Structures are given as C-alpha cells and as structure tokens.
Structure 1
Amino acid sequence: MPLVDSPTRWPVTATKTPFTGNKTSVRTDEVQLPDGSRVHRDYQVHPGSVAVLALDERERAVVIEQYRHPVRHKLWEIPAGLLDVPGENPLHAAQRELYEEAHVKAENWRVLTDVYTTPGGSDEAVRVFLARELSEAEGERYEVFAEEADMRIARVPVAELARGVLDGRLHNTCLALGVLAYQAAVSGEGLEALRPADAPWPARPFPS
C-alpha cells in the first residue's frame, strides 16, 4: 500500500494567542499526548499560500529575486503569495499572484504538489501550481512597494534551476519543490497525469 499522511487530532486542553500580527499569529496549545501527559506547543498560525511554476514554450520558468529579511538574503523564487481571503479558491489566488508579480497570464494550469512548509513550527500549507501557455497580461503592471519594489524578474530553464537547488545555490522552498516536482512528473507518468487545477485541497478547503 502507498504511504499516505493521515489527519489526526490530539486533544487540546488549553490554548492562547500571545502574538497577533498583520497576516499571521503565534498560538500556544497545551496538547494531551496518547499516554495522558501534556506538553506545550508554540506555532505560527498561517492563512496558507500558493506558488506558481510558470513555464514558457522553451521550458524556461518565470523567477523573481526578492529580499527576505528573516534570512538576510535576496532569494530567487517562483511567483507566490498568501491566501488573503478565507476560503479563497487557490487557483484564483495563483492567477492573481502571477499577474501581480510577473504581469503574465497562463492558459494551462495543473497542481504540482501540496505541502506543509514547516509542520514542526507552523500550520502553513502551500499549493504549488504548474502554469503553461504563457502570454503577457493586458493592462498596466501592478504597482509594487516595499521589498517588491526591488524585485528582478528573469526566465531561466528548469534544468538550470534544478542544478542550482542541488548545488546549494538556490534555497527557496517553493522554487525547489516546483522544479523538482516538475522534473519528477516529466520523467514519470507525464504532465497530463498531474491533478487538475481545481483538485480538492483538504488543508485549505474551498468551494467547488
């Protein structure tokens, strides 16, 4: 039988939120273990995210260089963003992020993978999409500010990005997941075997 992650809820006997930020918060739960003992667990409460591996006809991915203050690095990333609205359709959010960050639209969408980024310290769930058949978006470019104002945009072959991940030159989670999942799909059952763009996502349910 294939391995599958299973939803499980250990009892929470007490909870508090010592910090609430603009988009996320920190929660402390008192959790009862199966042996009856109790432990405290601190974690970030996160609305969830989407990311897009957008490929042109030459198998070049749209990538963005952005400053990330917590790690004190400018990282090359694929377009990504938060699920700002509770219950938001993740495909719509991904299309919005691709437009806002790269001023690009895509006609062909599939789900590459769904992941919990740091399950030991956050409940963040990310859906990574594959977007193909790209074209320039219509209208004016989205106005950027703060860290986004310093972004650089490039198109880089997927194979080159994969080498960068394995060589330790590229470190962004969604970029690494996206390019390696893409290569696994191509060398496996093929892109048409990927889930459709509106596939259910139990971690962040949305109306069908």
Structure 2
Amino acid sequence: MDVQQIRDVAEEWEVRATETPFQGRVTGVRTDEVRMPDDSWARRDYQTHPGSVAVLAVDDRQRVLILRQYRHPVRQRLWEIPAGLLDVPGENPLHAAQRELFEEAHCKAAEWKVLVDFYTSPGGTDEALRIFLATDLSEAEGDRYEAHGEELQLETARVPLEDLVRLLLAGELHNPALITGVLALQAALTGAGVEALRPADSPWPARPFVQG
C-alpha cells in the first residue's frame, strides 16, 4: 500500500439504539447498538468526553516542565505535563493550553506548535487530546492561580528530554500525554525538526473550534 494512503478516515457504522445511562458533570457513559459487518448487532459502552489539551513545555536547556499529582483511579502520584479539559464547546484549544500552562505552572511561552493529536483510548472513550509544544518559556505575570483539589499538592520539576525518554522506556513513567509528547518531540528532533510541526492554530477535526 502507498504510504500516502496510510491515514485515519472518518466512518460511522449504523446505530439502531443509543442511551446515556450515566451523565456526570464532565463525562458520561453512552451505550450504542451498532451493526457489525455480518449484520449482527453489538452493544458498545464508552465514556463520552469533551476533549483535552496538554502542553509539552521545553526551556532553552531542553528540559521539559513536568508536574506530579495524585490520580485516584490508578491510586498513584503520576508525573505529567500541564493539561486540562476543553470546558466550553468549540473552545480554541490553543487558548485552553495557554490557560493550563498558566494555572498549573505559572508559566507562559512565546512560541507554540501542534506536536501531536490522538485519541486517549479509542476502544473505551471518545476523548480526543491535542498536545502542544511550547518553547521560549518565561514566568507569567500576575498572581498565581489558586489551586484546589489534587492540585493543592502539585509538585513541579524540569527534566532533560533524554532523561525522560530513558525513564519512560524503563517503565517508570505512565501518563499517556507525557509519554506521547516526549516521544513525539524526540522523533521530531531526530527527523524533520520542530520547524516542520504544524502551526498552533491548525484544524482539529476531532474537536472543531472557533479560530482566533
């Protein structure tokens, strides 16, 4: 197969019934009855999610800004990168990413690129996540964001990219946005370079947004 044909495509199989047995403040659970290729019907339960953004923030010493906080479902304190929900339908993901970098790290960046887009667990949720590469970092102006919940015990660190690659390959790091972002940046640096990454306002079909 021609490599030009290797790309994901939109497709939607017939659904004869759907229900939402649970809807929380942010996410819910949906149940669809979907027609299979052999004309049978199968039930598919999945989490509905508004989408997320994350920021791989890299300083001029090629150190990545990471955060550690408690994640109750897995009962671990995980090292992660700044991230958050797309709280408003149609919200510009770059604006959301800039907000998260400020709130979680009191940091801003002069240069932004789209690093990678992915579905976090497409067999079980429709969550789409866009990771931005943020560079030319500096401390944000104004008062720090008032933390709450898990963020009250947030730890921060700046770790060289090569050390993060080694740690995640050794099985010491488990957050999917951190792993995906680190490996994507490593691939970019050893390939066409970060200059070849997409602009920060590039379209995102999984979560269409208002430009500007």
Give the secondary-structure state (helix, strand or coil) at the position aligned to 1:14: strand
Give aligned-pair identity as a percent: 64
AA aligned opposite 1:13: R
2:202 counterpart letter in structure 1: A
Which residue among 96, 110, 128 is the counterpart of 2:99? 96
Task: State the distance in 2 between where 1:124 and 1:71 align.
Answer: 18
Alignment partner of 1:186 is 2:189: yes
3-state DSSP of counterpart to 2:164: helix
Query: Structure 1 residue 35: deviation in Å?
Result: 2.2
Q: What SS does structure 2 have at the residue aligned with 1:62?
A: strand
Q: Which residue number corresponds to residue 195 of structure 1?
A: 198
1:28-177 equivalence runs, <5 A = 28-177=31-180
Deviations 1:113-172 (A, max 9, x none): 000010000000000000000000000000001111011011111111111110000000
4+ aligned runs moved over 2 Å, structure 1:
none
Query: What is the identity, as a one-letter code, of the residue corresponding to 1:71?
Result: V
Q: Distance in 2 between matches of 1:181 and 1:5?
A: 18
Extract unaligned runs of 5+ from structure 2: none
Task: Give the structure-2-normalised TM-score.
Answer: 0.97
Offset at residue 30 of structure 1 (A): 0.6
Q: How many residues align?
A: 208
CA deviations on 1:80-119 (whole Å, 9 max, x unpaired) are: 0000000000000000000000000001000110000100
Coordinate RMSD, CA, aligned = 0.6
1:181, distance to aligned residue in structure 2 (A): 0.2
Return 5+ residue gaps in structure 1 as ranges. Answer: none
Among 7, 15, 21, the alignment partner of 2:24 is 21
Q: How far did 1:34 drift?
A: 2.4
Deviation at 1:18, TM superposition (A): 0.5
Give the distance between the partners of 2:166 and 2:174, measured in 1 at CA. Answer: 12
Q: Secondary structure at the match of 1:148?
A: helix
